[in-house]
Structures are given as structure tokens and as C-alpha cells.
Amino acid sequence: MLQKLLLTLAVFLSAWVSAQNVEVIWKDSVSIDADNYYGKDALGYFYYSKNNVLYKQKQAEKWEYKNLSLGKIESVDLINPLKILVFYKEFNAVVLLDNQLSEIIKINLNRYNILAQTCSMASANRLWAYDNLSNQLMLIDYLNHKTTVLNQPFKNDFTFCQSDYNQWIIVNSKREIVSYNNYGNSATLSTAPDFNKIYLTQKRDILFSLNDNLYLYKSVSKTSHQLFSDPKSIASFDYNNGILTLFTGKTIENYQILIR
């Protein structure tokens, strides 16, 4: 309890000192035994893995999915809670799961002659895939077994990528934030600050961690505001509908972020 009070006090003090237009409000926390945290979906369920088993949980509700034959889980895409994407990079494969973590379909990416570095959900039964063999971004239509190449080979390596149905966004080696749409058109959105981990909000503001501190970077004003300094390491974080979720390795901490 004392640790929670001290953490909450640190949140409010740092928010007050560094950003009068940003308010951070502690909501709740959940103890968790996990190796990796993948985020929270639009319905409030959070996803994590332990010993390479994927779990979906909210209060007393809990489901699990295990497929050890495909190796280590590389990433989990939660944009559609009814069609969850699990990417197994080691075996170049994707599994789509329903809302109870039952298999919908397995997709062998070798069938498309690509070696995927990243893979995530796109619109209209398609997947975003970055191909290591050609250094190109592709759209995979997994129902009709077709691929569409969206760009020329990348000139700059990217250090981060994030996507939704209509955009695939990267931070390249020059720290430029560049988006690609379903037609392969690109646009440079802004420049990212130095970061260890980063998350792009729907309003194109940037949440990022640097040296165990968490900041909000406002793209319009190009200013950074420290949200708080957490004595515990921040393993990963997620931001959805104004709620910031931190995974510390042992707990999931939820905060409401009010941006004025």
C-alpha cells in the first residue's frame, strides 16, 4: 500500500511540475505473472504470455492459447478483438484467433515467398507484412492468396513500427515518423524524440520512455512533458481511449491521461 501511495504521489508531483496541461490519475493495478504483455483490447481484456502461452484476461474471465510447435510468440495484434493475430516469426507463420482464443486460421507466410520481419492486421481480410528478403512492405490477402507490393525497397532501416487497418507507420533510422497507406502512398508525419520504447496515439502525439522515465511528446507544439519517473523498470506500455497501461514485470498499472 505504501509503495502504491508513493508511486501515485510521484505521478502527481511530476505531472504538476512538468505539464500543467497533462493530468495523470491512477486508476487501479493488477498483479500478474507474465513474461510479456501485449496490450489491452477495446473491450478491456488484457493479453500476456507466460512460458509462451498466450492469455486473455479480465477479472475472473480468462482464456489461453498454446501452440508450442510454432516457436516463440513474436507479437500479438489486438486491433480486432474478434480476430486476434499472433505472429510467430521463427516459423514465419500467423495464427488468427477468435474472442475465446480458438483458432480461426493458420497462415504459412512461406506460401507467399516472403520472410516476414513484422506482421499485423490490415483491412478487408489482409495483413501488413514487412519482407526481409526484398526489404519491402506488402499486403497479403490470405483468403484469395494474393500479395500486393506497396513500396520500393526501404532505404532507411526502421526502429519501430505500428499499424491499424489503414496505415502502417514506422520510425526510421533518421527518427522520421512515416506512414504508408493501403495504396503504398507515404507521408512523413513528424520527427520522433530519442526513446527506448514508443507508442503513437491516435492524435499523433507520442508516448515514449527514456531511461525509466515516461514522457508525452506533443507533435504540434514539439514539446515533451514528463508524466512521471517510476523507480520500477517499465517493461512495456499501452495507450487506449485515454488509459495508459504500464507493465512493470509484476503488475499492470492503469492510469487515466487527461490532455488539455
Note whether 25 and 43 are same-domain residues. Answer: no
Number of domains present in the structure of the chain: 2
207 domain-assigned: yes
CATH at residue 14: 2.20.25
Claim to verify: residue 145 and residue 210 sit in the same structural domain: no
Distance of alpha carbon 258 from alpha carbon 42, whole angstroms = 19
Provide the terminal-to-terminal Cα distance of the chain, rounded to the nearest Å: 30
Residue span of the structural domain in which 75 resides = 37-156
Say if residue 27 is in the same domain as residue 41: no
Please list the pLDDT of the chain residue by residue as tens digits (260 residues). 434 433 433 443 343 334 457 788 999 999 999 999 999 888 889 999 999 999 999 989 999 999 999 999 999 999 999 999 999 999 999 999 999 999 999 999 999 999 999 999 999 999 999 999 999 999 999 999 999 999 889 877 899 999 999 999 999 999 999 999 999 999 998 889 899 999 998 778 899 999 889 998 887 777 888 888 876 678 888 887 778 889 988 999 999 988 77
- Within a domain: residue 96? yes
Mark whether 131 and 76 lie in a shared domain. Answer: yes
**Pair (69, 1) in one structural domain:** no
In a domain, residue 45? The reply is yes
Same domain membership, residue 249 and residue 209: yes
Same domain, yes or no: 51 and 148: yes
Per-residue pLDDT at 53: 98
For residue 163, being part of any structural domain is answered with: no
pLDDT of residue 258: 82
Q: 128 and 58, same structural domain?
A: yes
The pLDDT value given to residue 231: 61
* CA–CA separation, 227 and 14 (whole Å): 6
Q: Beta-carbon neighbour count of residue 108 at 10 Å?
A: 11
pLDDT at 43: 86
Whether 136 and 215 map to the same domain: the answer is no
